[in-house]
Structure 1
Amino acid sequence: MDNSSLSDIACNQTEAWSWLYSMQPFYMSTICFLGLLGNSFVLAVFFLEKRCSSVADIYLANLALADLFMLSCLPFWVVTIINEFYWTFGQAMCQIINVIIGMNYYCSVLFLTLVSVDRYLVLTRPLSHGRDRQAIWAKMICFSIWISGILLSIPAVLFRSVQYLPHLGIEACYLAYPHDGWRLRYNFTVILVGFLIPVPIVSYTSYHIVKVLSSSQRISNNCKNTERKAAFLVLIVLATFIVCWLPYQGFLFLDTLDHFSVLTGCTWGNALDIAEQMATYIGYSNSSLNPFLYVIVGKQFKQRAKEVLRVVLCKRWERGQSGYFNGNVTSRQYESTKI
């Protein structure tokens, strides 16, 4: 939470804040539990599968990893919100937690954009970028995105600190910019990197993906059916990301107007901050939705997950049978136990 948010709490302690304190921890705990479970499962499928990962697999695995990092940080904020924003985890954790959360947003949108571009290149220019689609290139691109996400989250290190706030009577993990110019730079960066740049790219590639898939002359029926399933999953994941994060972008824009005094008033500021809090955690819910989209929409992913589960269960059964025979059980005794 930043300086304007905490001042708004002091400005007008309304019933809405009491409702937020009671409902938001339950909501955050739910998406945290489901998201950790789901993204761990997705990563297990990608890593345990024997076949070589495609470029899209690498991007989606990195997306799941980014979501997993972010969701692992939410319990700290659950406890903090229950304590009405009193921070009990120290200065270092205040910075680390918020760097990871901020990094997740940038990395997620960039990984999704890469998946969309990859599907576009596969369908429209299958012969013109063979080497660029090699796994090593994809891994290098992913590494650069992780570095970029960390660099874009540097304000959390520079300006986050645990401070005692006399007007609230608490020690808060407080984001205090030295002047409004830094806050406006942050808002502009989030809007630019998280919306204005990726959305046109995703819209362009999605339009051409749909256009190519609707043409039976460009690709064979079998290939078309396979790519349609993969592309449909990508489009659903992209649409879900936009729906989850669009409210946050809108309220961030209104927050910028508030700092320019285009919108003024204590009541307005308090309402804006409550709405921004809610929009932020609606956006975080996207991290827990993706794994379920893979299972519900991604038929290929379901097949791969079933294959991984089959292999794991078979190995466990073989180890169990090996232990059974090693326990001085004879072949005749084993045969007598079979139905």
Structure 2
Amino acid sequence: MSGIQNGTNPQICSIGFAHWTFSVIPIYVMTIAVLGIVLNLFVLMVFILHKKACTVAEIYLGNLAAADLLLVSFLPFWAVYAYRYYNWTFGSVLCKTVNVSILMNVYCSIFFLVLVSIDRYFALVFPLSHAKLRGPVCAKGACFLVWVAGFLLSLPALIYRDVIHLGPNVTKCTVDPPSTTTLIDCMIFIFGFVIPVSIISFCTVKILKALRNRISEGLNTQKKDHKATTLVLAVLLAFLFCWVPFYLYKIPSVLRDRHILTDCTSKYILFISGNIFTYLGFFNSVLNPILYVIVGKNFRKKVKELFTKRKGERSATLSRSSIQTFLLFWSLASN
């Protein structure tokens, strides 16, 4: 914010009272990084190590956990960046990599939720058809396409993000040229919010309508489908709570970049709200695995079965070791 000019008038806008952000944000981001790495690794290990094959919904949620893990793994660099008053010291490669990981999480997270919503839509609205589309093979193929799409949509960050030296001790990891920021923000708003949220909203309305009709007609929804749908809706609500403010923030930020909002008060408000809404979005990467435990009954069952299995294997190993030790001592005593 400091040193920004408003178009034709060289007006300097100071961040002034916003200096508190440089002490609060690094601690918050580092906490999100540590919790996110531990929790999302835990989720992935449960899905990978459990003896039963993952359902289609679990394949999508597992990939969502992988996208969250990608984001939080690079957040420590961003925490240090904020701590140093946004002075980047990690070089050009990490500048591009960190921002690509953030953008890929933004895109892939919402795309995986689109896939989950479509799966629940077919499961509840058309339960007797589209069986092939709801199979594990198609699910894995769709996930691969999501990762490819997320990377392609993140290419502007890879191309235009770079390290810029603004002074002897000031190095920024920013978009160059600055005019490209508008293109990136518009892409995020359209492909990361408007289109996917429209699909999710359509599917969610149809899902809720189908559930209501089944209840009114006295039909029993399969317990498995009901549990999966409850978890999916909880994850969707969490995503919207954490990310919708960030997407809405993009509208005035584009007006600022196009020199329509030029006064220092507007820039100061956008600086504060941009920090709050961006880091609220990061919190979603920690909230998702917590929801799996709180809401996901099937996930809790898998965790219990996995730990029971590990405990049984450990007990069996200890028993075999004890028997072998006893036989060894017995043979020695006999001799």
Compute the TM-score of the two structures, normalised by the length of structure 2: 0.90
State the superposition RMSD in angstroms.
Answer: 2.2
Q: 1:259 to 1:172 in 2, by over 3 A?
A: closer
Partner of 1:194: 192
Unaligned runs of 5+ in 2: 6-11, 331-335
Cα deviation code 1:46-70 (max 9, x no counterpart): 1111112221111111000000010
How many angstroms does 1:8 deviate by?
A: 4.5
Output aligned runs, 1:215-254, within 5 Å: 215-216=214-215, 221=220, 223-254=221-252
How many angstroms does 1:43 deviate by?
A: 0.5
Q: 1:92 to 1:134 in 2, by over 3 A?
A: same
Task: Give the letter for the 1:127 counterpart.
Answer: L
279, 283, 286: which one aligns with 1:285: 283
Q: Which runs of 4+ in 1 moved over 4 A?
A: 5-10, 217-220, 330-333
Unaligned runs of 5+ in 1: 334-339
- Cα distance in 1, alignment partners of residues 315 and 21 from structure 2: 48
Task: Give the letter for the 2:131 counterpart.
Answer: G
Cα deviation code 1:101-142 (max 9, x no counterpart): 111110000001110110110111122211122211111111
Output aligned runs, 1:55-74, within 5 Å: 55-74=56-75
How many angstroms does 1:282 deviate by?
A: 0.5
Cα deviation code 1:189-230 (max 9, x no counterpart): 111112111222111211221222221487953x43332221
- Cα distance in 2, alignment partners of residues 6 and 119 from structure 1: 48
Output aligned runs, 1:1-339, within 5 Å: 7-8=3-4, 11-16=13-18, 18-166=19-167, 169-177=169-177, 180=179, 182-214=180-212, 215-216=214-215, 221=220, 223-326=221-324, 328-330=325-327
SS in 1 for 2:326: coil
SS in 2 for 1:197: helix
Cα deviation code 1:216-262 (max 9, x no counterpart): 487953x4333222111111110110110111112111111223333
Task: Give the letter for the 1:302 counterpart.
Answer: R
- Cα distance in 2, alignment partners of residues 219 and 66 from structure 1: 39
- Cα distance in 2, alignment partners of residues 13 and 183 from structure 1: 21
Cα deviation code 1:144-182 (max 9, x no counterpart): 11111111111112111122112x83122222236x2x3
SS in 1 for 2:133: helix
Aligned residues: 323
Partner of 2:333: none
Q: Identity percentage over the alignment? A: 39
Task: Give the letter for the 2:13 counterpart.
Answer: C
Q: 1:102 to 1:274 in 2, by over 3 A?
A: same
- Cα distance in 2, alignment partners of residues 200 and 246 from structure 1: 13
SS in 2 for 1:133: coil
